Chain A
């Protein structure tokens, strides 16, 4: 039988926050294209005696991500040290969070093919710091490794899901949605190419059998887990998952169990390569960071932060469908990026104002269609200019929709024969009605527009 296995996939995503300063010191947190080691200080260089002081803004943003993912915000949280040696890790440990993350037990709802919904559980959202960057170069014929500490201490948020995904498609839907939420919160640009968003899926396969003509899925999670690292695009994550499913299926088919290990994704060869087995798994010797007192929130502080949350895409889409009669399909396109959604909403505001002043305005459908069809760039045009432009283009000058409709209806009523001709298939007959209308309207409306409107009315 074909699908003997159901993939069990969990995801760890690192998001680099775009705070002005680093996580534990005052250094400029931007590092892309900067002179190496120009944004450093005793703290992010791990000099003797330097102490970390947490960045309040970064912590608030971490909480916001947690809130956007429907997480619980515990009132007490703390930082821990994750100890390991690596040349790019200045202190010999990374300040992270172990057993008391800033946010936990959330969920996110995905929209899959055919508007099918799926809820994925979020295990935790926690805060940590980035490491420096190793550069391997040849200087004067000598191979050397250099370290750039500009990235050292840049705030990172790690978002961990439960192993709820069953396909690469679901994973991709999740990543897109997560990226969208992060961008809506304006806490990171979540640009994969710049390493602002990093993905680590863990994949295993669960067997299912057919017993008494019923599907029986093994209720327990698989006893192994394969983590794949070095994935830097949404497409590669799909490739990597597909590859792993095939690789692990083959092993299971042979009656063996895949090794629990960490594998690296090789994008050129489109395959994963073993990096570290379970036996070599690191013991990070976590313990509470003594340099930073536990962080305690008052419920008011959490509530206050919640009240500052922007409206998120799901809510917007729902509202657009309900309040403006926009189709789900169109609402989703408009809400995809916050800037466009805001442009849409401002355009509606402008039109409402015009209506209130009894001036020429536009209906929701026209606004929606124009925004989508003209691929509006909200950076390049103001909502008010946009409205004027549409009004000019449609030339509904000095006449509003209702008036136009009543004039056209009068013409339809007065030309019964022509209407009947048109309805019986003589499409050209409509041009007579257009001519009548144009005379009546004295050029206030374009002929095309009149024709379209008449066609609508004659349906």
Chain B
């Protein structure tokens, strides 16, 4: 096993045991990115000088006997998180030269926890998309098959983790942007409850939905990162003061659960995907968990609600990009952003507001109620993460609703503000990764991580690596 194959826990042990220094480790990752990223285009901006500087600091701290949760860990952050003095573009040419004067809370917490930042990862421009194809810096490629999409919008983060360019990465999900690319790239992707992780400093997409989350090789790594990221932020009024748990320690004792299965989720997925997820469910049953059939709303309703609410918020959130104070003018907005601004402006217009936005809010309440009722009977809900495996690059062209259709199975839980995690459950006949999602109630991160960890212990799919040509 090579160093870049290690998890956060393993790498940190190697650092603290002085088997390797943070600078050596960082150099190793930098070399890997230098040699591989031409293939994947995971990064919009690399920060190698900064990384080496942070690594030297980490080594100093280690010498002084200091310990921090992520000391010396080489990570990447999605390019919609503001990073002080480091270009932040949200993969849009509107912000091509934008260098923030401040750190997002997530970036600040990561720096405080000792990370070594390797760079900012590619994404769909403004996080508008599920493929990274809307990025003004070119699409990212799927490490399992370079002719295929990595998913999006956190596609750069997913590809970087899957190809071991970084130890872990941070993504953000509005509806599917963490779980989706994690599924197509065969990694763990955790979308926390809305309000669990601060949105301060994250270039806003759908403000009532955006949830930053970790994208990692293993469940334990995700738990470790969530410990660092979660918590009330005085700068974000929508964060919750719900207590932050020691998620990584909560993994060890195997909790027995009742798992809810809703047919609607399988009916909307390809057969082969459903079969893989069912195999995983059978394994969990064998471990002693109870499986219970439940009936959830057909996820197709969530598409309409999500489309209207998110477009409305987008049309307002992108209004500030007028090129007056920073960045470039509106002429640099790409097709997808323009489409979303137009649609959102329309749905908020007087005379249409009641028919669209208000109605969508009402259906949103129904979806929230639907899940609330379900969680009275079950601890978690399991289904496929995405309806298919990664499609070919270019297949989204002329299909502006591609993202919404691809994300159909993650939209309901996003709309309800629930937490969810993508777990790799093996490969399809073309050797492409398949993912299942474990959905938990609001602030039930501990529960879904616990079950995901039990599954991972049995299967160890994370050890499978793409053969990079």
Write the residues of chain A forming the contact surface with B, with a CB cutoff of 8 angstroms.
42, 45-54, 81, 83, 85, 87, 90-93, 147, 283, 285-287, 290-293
| Distance to closest chain A CB from B61 (angstroms) | 29
Contact of A293 among B235, B238, B326, B349 (CB under 8 A): B238
What B residues does A85 contact at CB under 8 A? 319, 322
Contact of B325 among A45, A83, A287, A291 (CB under 8 A): A45
What A residues does B206 contact at CB under 8 A? 290
| Distance to closest chain B CB from A317 (angstroms) | 42
Q: What 1/0 flags go to B200-225 for Cβ under 8 Å of A?
A: 11111011100000000000000000
Given contacts A47-B326, A85-B322, A92-B316, whether A285 and B237 have CB atoms under 8 Å apart is no
* A147 touching B324, Cβ below 8 Å: yes
Query: For the complex, what is the distance from the CA of A92 to the CA of B319, rounded to whole Å?
Result: 5
Given contacts A42-B101, A51-B199, whether A91 and B319 have CB atoms under 8 Å apart is yes
Contact of B200 among A50, A54, A87 (CB under 8 A): A50
* B102 touching A290, Cβ below 8 Å: no
Identify the closest chain A residue to B318 (Cβ): A92
Identify the closest chain B residue to A41 (Cβ): B102
Contact of A285 among B80, B81, B199, B316 (CB under 8 A): B316
Contact of B235 among A48, A51, A54 (CB under 8 A): A51
* A52 touching B237, Cβ below 8 Å: yes
* A48 touching B203, Cβ below 8 Å: yes
Q: Is the interface of B mostly helix, strand, loop or mixed?
A: loop
Query: For the complex, what is the distance from the CA of A90 to the CA of B331, rounded to whole Å?
Result: 19
Q: Is B82 an interface residue (CB 8 A)?
A: yes
- Which residues of B317-347 are within 8 A (CB) of A? 318-322, 324-326, 345
What B residues does A81 contact at CB under 8 A? 316
Query: For the complex, what is the distance from the CA of A87 to the CA of B319, rounded to whole Å?
Result: 11
Q: Could you list 16 A-B pairs, sorted by A, with CB under 8 Å? A: A42-B101, A42-B201, A45-B325, A46-B325, A48-B321, A49-B80, A53-B235, A90-B325, A91-B320, A147-B325, A285-B316, A285-B349, A285-B353, A286-B348, A291-B237, A292-B237
| Distance to closest chain B CB from A14 (angstroms) | 22
Identify the closest chain B residue to A86 (Cβ): B322
Query: For the complex, what is the distance from the CA of A90 to the CA of B322, rounded to whole Å?
Result: 9
Q: What 1/0 flags go to B219-255 for Cβ under 8 Å of A?
A: 0000000000000001111100000000000000000
Q: Is B313 an interface residue (CB 8 A)?
A: yes
Q: Is B439 an interface residue (CB 8 A)?
A: no
Q: Is B450 an interface residue (CB 8 A)?
A: no
Q: Is B90 an interface residue (CB 8 A)?
A: yes
7 cross-chain pairs, A with B, having the tightest CB-CB distances, nearest first: A92-B319, A285-B348, A290-B207, A290-B208, A49-B201, A46-B320, A48-B203
Contact of B320 among A90, A283, A285, A286 (CB under 8 A): A90
Q: Is B95 an interface residue (CB 8 A)?
A: yes
| Distance to closest chain B CB from A342 (angstroms) | 37
Given contacts A85-B319, A85-B322, A147-B324, whether A49 and B350 have CB atoms under 8 Å apart is no
Query: For the complex, what is the distance from the CA of A290 to the CA of B344, rounded to whole Å?
Result: 15
Contact of B313 among A48, A50, A54, A290 (CB under 8 A): A290
Known pairs A42-B100, A47-B102, A290-B206. 10 more at Cβ < 8 A? A42-B101, A49-B104, A49-B199, A85-B319, A90-B320, A90-B325, A91-B320, A147-B325, A286-B348, A287-B312
